[in-house]
Amino acid sequence: MTGTATRHLYLVRHGEATADESGLTEAGRQQATLLGRRLRDVPLAAVHHGPLARARQTARLIGDQLDGVPLHVSELADDFVPHVPERDELPPESADLFLRFLEGSGADERGPDLARRALAEFTGPVAGDEDRHELVVTHNFLIAWLVRDALYAPKWRWLGLNHANAALTVIRYPADRPASVVVSNDMRHLPAELRWTGFPSEAHV
């Protein structure tokens, strides 16, 4: 069936994680709870989250603030490298920087397949005549990949797109026009002391 209704995709990076990434810090738990409160009035149909503890715990704390919204664990929301570019795909002035980063990123062969399937699962308009609102609690790389796709940017351009812990990004997928990034890295639900965690310090504003 051809999609005729708009998908509203809400993307969230997990809350601040402990040093060993086994769960959330106290700040991370507060971030998740406050984000859940912000989303109370959004008619979410589902919350999808990655299987790692920091994403799972964030989704649970968000879900505690919502009214009966189901939580679904999905490998498509896991932490993976979506695309490893060849050198000639990259701008010459930044190729060395990006390739060094990717060497330590944990890239493996499953990443491109998961990235392709995530696009098929989470993006594009929906069938029927009712708009759909969905939340994906995931990691920095996947959010960057989905934002890149919504902007019709080259595949390598997920690199350099950063997302703070528990910040909100929203992408709208109408049936009759291209996708649009409605908000990105929105932290207005967080007090100043809980903002910008997980984001490069030189980019704090």
* pLDDT on residue 2: 59
End-to-end Cα distance, the chain: 45
User: Which residues 6+ apart lie within 8 Å of 83 measured at CB?
Assistant: 111, 112, 115, 145, 155, 156, 158
- Look at residue 3 in the predicted model and tell me its pLDDT: 62
Which domains are assigned to the chain?
A: 4-127+139-199 (3.40.50.1240)
Least confident among 118-132, 167-181, 190-204 = 190-204
Does the pTM exceed 0.85? yes
Chain-centroid distance, C-alpha 110: 18
Write out pLDDT tens, residues 48-77.
Answer: 999 999 999 999 999 999 999 999 999 999
Give the model confidence (pLDDT) of 88-147 as tens digits.
999 999 999 999 999 988 888 899 999 999 999 999 999 998 999 999 999 999 999 999
**Mean pLDDT of the 19-42 span:** 97
**pLDDT at res. 1:** 46
Q: Where are the beta strands (DSSP E) in the chain?
A: 3-5, 7-13, 44-49, 71-73, 126-127, 132-138, 168-173, 180-186
Q: Compute the average pLDDT of residues 158-182.
A: 96
CA distance 114 to 118: 6
Residue 203 has pLDDT above 70, yes or no: no
